[in-house]
Amino acid sequence: AGQAGLEQKMEAGQEEMRSGQEEIKSQIQAHTESQVEEMKNHVDGCIGKIEEEVQCVKLKIENVESEVQRKIEESNCEVQEKIGNLERRISELEERPNYFPASPEFISSRPTVKPLTFDGQTSWTVFKTQFDVVSSTNGWTDFVKASQLVASLRGSAAEVLQGIPADKLTELTTVEKALESRFGDSHLTQFYTTELKTRRQKPGESLQELAADVERLMSLAYAECPLDVRESLAAQYFVDAIRDEDTQHSTRLMDAKDLKSSLAYSMKYEAARTVSKTSRHVRSMGTEDHTSSERDDKFEFFFNRLEKLLNSSVSGRKNTPRRNPNVTCWKCSKKGHVQRECQAITSNQEKLTNGCLAGRRLPSLNRSPEEGPRVSSLSGKKNGLYLEGSICGIQCLMLVDTGANVTLLRTDLAQKLKEQLIYTAPNISLKTATGEKTEIRGKLDASIECGSRKFHHRIYVADITDPCILGLDFLQKFNFTVDLEKNEIRTGGEEIPLFAASVQHSKSCSVLAKKRTIIPARSECLIQGVPEVPGQFRYAVTNFPSQVSQKGVLVAASLVDLEMEAIPVRVLNLNNKPKILDKGDVIATCDPVVDIVARPQEFSGAQHLQSTLENLQMLNEEQRTAIKKLLNEFQDLFSTCDADVGRCNMT
């Protein structure tokens, strides 16, 4: 019973414990759930707050982003504006002239080339090339180029600036176009082509100078041609221009492909020919060797024997029966002997010019006098007609004397020449038409230049008044024609003016305005003029009067005939005001024409035109008659040979 009660108590205690545990468990569970719920609510609240904060942050970020974008755009606009201002400022600084000295730390290391000057007398193309190189080296802008170009102009080139507006003087293209139109040669291609075809070697001009000028004309006339074609044409024109016929013929046979080869061969040929001529005319020189002394001894022995023979011959004649005592010697004008027995010693016999028989007496030439050199007068005086020429390179005035049978040179001029004087017989003297006599000093082989031609002729040296007298021997030998009506002398297609003694030293003549003339501003017109001193010469070239100062006025060079009633003078007024020329004012000067290249006389224009007419086909009789009439009317304008190319009978 007691055990059962204990078990019951134990069960009751366990039951109580179970109920207590259940209650505790339910309390714990309830508390846990409440805690979890609270925690969940708290977490939810925190998450809500976080989400709200995130939204706020996002909103703030968006606001900041929009603000940043706005500020970036504003900054970009400001930067672009500042860059534009900076570029404009830099451009203004580049265009602004520098009037302050450069600081050493800012001096560029690029070398500075001094600019050139252009006066209009040299080639504009060459100057433009040099100016471009200088401007590129110095690193100039277009504004600086224009300023430097304007500052480099001188003389007539600077006058071009008067036609450019002041606000355009800093524009490079405007200044260059004005200079190109005034001094450029791009529009003169045909002119340079014609000049190249008619180019001939001038007297005294070397082959190197001729080749350089041909090359210059080729670059101007055929600038667009390929290099190989231009070289071939240059070689042909160079050969055609060579003055000496032998050198020209030999160089042409060489068939060179370029100018340098032709020049080298022609110079080599001339040098070889000069050496050959020198070797043929070499003179023996006295030396101290044994061979020379032996030769002198032999010559001394020979001369002594010759003198003995002559003396014995004279003494033998003295022993012969005496002849008429009244006979007169033609040499010394004394009676009692003839010329071949005359013992008189003349100055020419006393000493030879070459010194080989210096101081020895020469045997007289026992010949009767023959018709010797004669001349109209020893001086042309006022009635003489002269031409300008040269003898062996020495310029002089030559008197044309058809009454002289020899060509004469004054003694003092002969002494200036390098040519050796040739001995002449003592019985030869120069006689004039009035009976005057003068001694012949000798003769020499000289080179005479008249116009553009050179002649080799033997001339006599005598004491005459004029520098040189061209005799009939020279005029006939080289087919000269003297035209006294036109006061000119012609040969080989050239007309050389003759000057009267009163005007032989006149080098120019002033042209005066025929009437009062007003030249409008910036315009060109033809003015009638008259020569200041009529009759000095006929043909002349007008030029600007150097003795008259007329700023802004230009005179064109023209070929004129002074025998015309009025001389046309082209005058250009560059000023902005009219120019007034009163009657009698000097408007130009005339320089005489000393050489006229004309058509050779041996060609017949009629035959040339006849062949031209025959070559025309498919013409009826009426058309053929009309063309024949036209050709006859203008026959002087047609060329008849290659020498006529580029020339005509009018300017």
Question: At 540, which helix (H) or strand (E)?
Answer: strand 539-543
Q: Is the predicted pLDDT of residue 291 greater than 70, yes or no?
A: no
What mean pLDDT do residues 288-300 have? 61
Q: What is the pLDDT of residue 183?
A: 79
pLDDT band of residue 437 (cuts 50, 70, 90) is confident
Decide if 235 contacts 259 (C-beta within 8 A).
yes
Closest by Cα among 354, 468, 469 to 421: 354
Q: Kindly report, residue by residue over 222-270, the tens digit of the pLDDT.
A: 877 888 888 888 998 999 999 888 899 888 888 888 988 999 999 998 8
Beta strands in 19-63 (DSSP E): none
Decide if 640 contacts 647 (C-beta within 8 A).
no
What mean pLDDT do residues 475-483 have? 89
pLDDT band of residue 108 (cuts 50, 70, 90) is very low
pLDDT band of residue 203 (cuts 50, 70, 90) is confident
Q: Is the predicted pLDDT of residue 276 greater than 90, yes or no?
A: no
Q: Kindly report, residue by residue over 491-545, the tens digit of the pLDDT.
A: 877 888 887 765 544 567 888 898 999 999 888 889 999 988 877 777 888 887 7
Q: What is the pLDDT of residue 495?
A: 82
Task: List the beta bridge partners of residue 458.
Answer: 445
Question: At 408, which helix (H) or strand (E)?
Answer: strand 408-410
Distance of CA 314 to CAs 5, 308, 317, 320, 328, Å? 221, 10, 5, 10, 18
Decide if 574 contacts 492 (C-beta within 8 A).
no
Q: What is the pLDDT of residue 332?
A: 75
Q: What is the pLDDT of residue 241?
A: 92
What mean pLDDT do residues 438-463 have? 87
Q: What is the pLDDT of residue 347?
A: 47
**Which 8-state DSSP code applies to residue 225?**
S
Q: Kindly report, residue by residue over 316-375, the tens digit of the pLDDT.
A: 554 555 556 667 777 677 777 777 777 665 544 444 334 443 343 434 444 434 457 877
Q: What is the pLDDT of residue 279?
A: 55
What mean pLDDT do residues 552-566 have? 85
Q: What is the pLDDT of residue 102?
A: 45
Angle of helix 227-241 relative to helix 207-221, nearest 10 degrees, comes to 140
Closest by Cα among 498, 485, 502, 476 to 596: 498
CA distance 626 to 371: 60
Decide if 441 contacts 411 (C-beta within 8 A).
yes
pLDDT band of residue 296 (cuts 50, 70, 90) is low
Q: Is the predicted pLDDT of residue 407 greater than 90, yes or no?
A: yes
Q: Where are the alpha helices (DSSP H) in 333-381?
A: 347-350
pLDDT band of residue 211 (cuts 50, 70, 90) is very high
Q: What is the pLDDT of residue 366?
A: 42
Most confident of 283-287, 297-301, 336-340, 586-590: 586-590
Decide if 469 contacts 448 (C-beta within 8 A).
no
CA distance 544 to 554: 7
Closest by Cα among 594, 379, 390 to 499: 594
Q: Who has greater pLDDT, 610 or 387?
A: 387
Q: What are phi and psi of 236, to 5 degrees?
A: -65, -45
Tokens of 536: 């000095």
Q: Kindly report, residue by residue over 617-648, the tens digit of the pLDDT.
A: 677 888 888 888 887 777 766 666 656 655 55
Residue 103: which residues within 8 A CB-CB, separation 6 or more? none
Q: What is the pLDDT of residue 634?
A: 75
What mean pLDDT do residues 124-139 have? 84
What is the topology classification, in CATH, of domain 187-271?
Answer: 1.10.1200
Helix (H), strand (E), coil (C) string for 564-583: CCCEEEEEEECCCCCEEECC
Tokens of 281: 């005319």
CA distance 252 to 266: 9
Task: Specify the length of the chain in residues.
Answer: 651
Average pLDDT, the chain: 78
Q: Kindly report, residue by residue over 79-97, the tens digit of the pLDDT.
A: 998 898 888 888 877 665 5
β-bridge pairing 408-410 and 453-462: parallel
Q: Who has greater pLDDT, 108 or 198?
A: 198
Q: Kindly report, residue by residue over 153-183, the tens digit of the pLDDT.
A: 888 888 888 888 888 888 888 888 888 877 7
Residue 441: which residues within 8 A CB-CB, separation 6 or more? 411, 414, 421, 424, 461, 462, 463
Q: Kindly report, residue by residue over 571-589, the tens digit of the pLDDT.
A: 888 888 898 888 888 888 8
Q: What is the pLDDT of residue 286?
A: 43
Superfamily of domain 385-500, CATH level 4: Acid Proteases (2.40.70.10)
Decide if 163 contacts 182 (C-beta within 8 A).
no
**Which 8-state DSSP code applies to residue 649?**
S
The domain limits of the chain are: 1-92, 124-183, 187-271, 385-500, 509-592, 604-650
Question: 19-33, 88-102, 389-403: which has the minimum mean pLDDT?
Answer: 88-102
Closest by Cα among 534, 509, 518 to 583: 518
What mean pLDDT do residues 119-139 have? 83
Superfamily of domain 509-592, CATH level 4: Deoxyuridine triphosphatase (dUTPase) (2.70.40.10)
